[in-house]
Structure 1
Amino acid sequence: MTQQINDTVISKTLLSKTLIAADYNPTHDAMLARTLERIALKKDQNLRSPDELWIVDHNDVYTLGQAGKEEHVLQHTDTPIIKTDRGGQVTWHGHGQLVIYWLFDLHSLGWSVRHLVSHAEQAIEDVVNECLNSQSSSNDPDTNNGSKISAHARRDAPGVYLYADASEKASVTAEDNELNLPSDDAIMLGKIASLGFKIKHGFSYHGIALNINCDLSAFNAINPCGYAGMQMLRLSGFVAIQENTNEALSYEQVTQKLIDNIAQRHAGLIELRPVAPKR
């Protein structure tokens, strides 16, 4: 049964809601109902309601996007497969993965859909890179093999990916730094975060999923986001994620970092970096 922890006022125009052990269908139904209610308030009464971030810990589920192809489900397990109305193909949600739904009025923010996607990817990049840079050691000392690990978005495949660069003098240009591009010598290790949105009358819902300390074996039954052989990663494979300690990051700390980053973007305090061209 879904348990709602709290509603938090972040600002006059942004609220957050926390749900744990959340079943997918009732969560989706509530998110859609709230979006339709906000659309009606704006259309009928010209009222701007506060935007919302839903911080969700889902019970295990596979979701298939609106144009999702069944062929990307490689194996049927006891985990339910639910057709939904977001963009994208098939993915998994479950415990240890941070899901944040963005219920935003894009027109009031002055954002295009491209702005929304770029803000989502860049928020994840910022937080994951901060976490990676905050700890020099990995849970598994052999994981990084002395390489610098960094998070980057890709124009050809939505989401955020980790790259390893072992070169002492990586060939990164000033433009690459501004765009947060990996160096020419970097090797892509896999995908750490996914995103998929739905836009209705200028309002967004659905959102992002960041693998923090989840069991990645659930992805073995699918082609994640429609990419055969895509290696899925989690943050705990590269930095220590623990509970009740001052010496390591916790799931809650990573969550709060991401909420804070998104809230600053929502308030116009963090501007978009230029979007990288397709390579």
Structure 2
Amino acid sequence: MHKPEFQDWGLIDYQSALDKQLELVDILSQNDDHSGFLVFCSHPHVVTTGRQTQPEDIFSWKGPIVEVSRGGRATYHGPSQLVVYPILNLKKPRHDRGAQEIRGYLRALEKAIVVTLAEYGVNAIGKTPQKLAGQQSETDETGVWIGRQKIASLGIAVKKWICFHGAAINLEYDPEAFQGMNPCGFTSNTMICLETLLDKKIDRSEFANKLKKNIEDLV
């Protein structure tokens, strides 16, 4: 199986990245033989609102807000994260599997992140029961979790069975991150980063290379 074409966009404005994603979606929709794209990047501070965003999700955020078509609620993006945008045709078989339905794709993306974190000695899990802010009962929540703390948020959109958007992984500590909002419906102290967990600076290139390989192997 051919690997998806890898692109590193570096630090890029969120709207510019979204426009470029849609361009790649159009390319892929017109070429059934294309293996897809895998994009890594990060964004300046921004909050994006998905289709399930609630009024209480954003209460004193001072930065820009962008409405997007992905699933999920309000999500923070910032330079302390590694953002991953796999742009793949979900109708095409991958890794000896048939065409992937959306939930199967999300679980595979979560697993690639979990496996990468395990290489750093971090025991994480994917979708798991968690309590949203202000709720007493647990619901199954997409993402990558370490106990009750969340290290990666996932949200996708699908156009013509081609997925875009993806995952934001919290690598570095940033006191400005997640302030004035309830990320994905959780309180801001639910969020955790790899730097805090390991109590040391993270080599972003090393982490990105490990994650790239795991996504290519598993997603």
With a CA cutoff of 8 Å and minimum separation of 6, indicate the structure with the bigger relative contact order: 2
- Of residues 79, 92, 111, the one that matches 1:122 is 111
Letter in 1 for 2:177: A
For 2:181 and 2:209, the matched residues in 1 are separated by 30
Contact 1:89 1:226 in 2 (8 A): yes
Residue 251 of structure 1 deviates from its aligned partner by 1.3
Q: Deviations over 1:158-195 (max 9, x none)?
A: 101113xxxxxxxxxxxxxxxxxxxxxxxx3x111100
Contact 1:216 1:232 in 2 (8 A): no
- Of residues 146, 153, 175, the one that matches 1:162 is 146
Hey, what does 1:171 align to over in structure 2? none
- Of residues 102, 105, 115, the one that matches 2:89 is 105
- Of residues 3, 11, 14, the one that matches 1:21 is 11
Runs of 4+ in 1 over 4 A off after TM superposition: none
Contact 1:191 1:230 in 2 (8 A): no
Letter in 2 for 1:54: V
For 2:179 and 2:204, the matched residues in 1 are separated by 23
Q: Please say if 1:150 is aligned against 2:123.
A: yes
Q: Deviations over 1:72-119 (max 9, x none)?
A: 002131x20110111111111111200000101111122111111001
Letter in 2 for 1:204: C
Q: Please say if 1:235 is aligned against 2:208.
A: no
Contact 1:213 1:236 in 2 (8 A): yes
* 1:119 alignment partner, SS class: helix
Unaligned runs of 5+ in 2: 94-98, 129-139
Contact 1:96 1:214 in 2 (8 A): yes
Unaligned runs of 5+ in 1: 1-10, 134-148, 164-187, 243-248, 267-279
Instruction: Give the TM-score, by structure 1 length.
Output: 0.68
Q: What's the Cα RMSD here? A: 1.8
Contact 1:74 1:221 in 2 (8 A): yes
For 1:237 and 1:228, the matched residues in 2 are separated by 18
Q: Please say if 1:90 is aligned against 2:68.
A: no
For 1:1-279, what aligned pairs fall within 5 Å after superposition? Answer: 12-39=2-29, 41-42=30-31, 47-77=32-62, 79-109=63-93, 110-131=99-120, 133=121, 150-155=123-128, 156-163=140-147, 188=148, 190-228=149-187, 231-242=190-201, 250-266=203-219
Q: Deviations over 1:234-273 (max 9, x none)?
A: 000122543xxxxxx511111111110001124xxxxxxx
Letter in 1 for 2:155: G
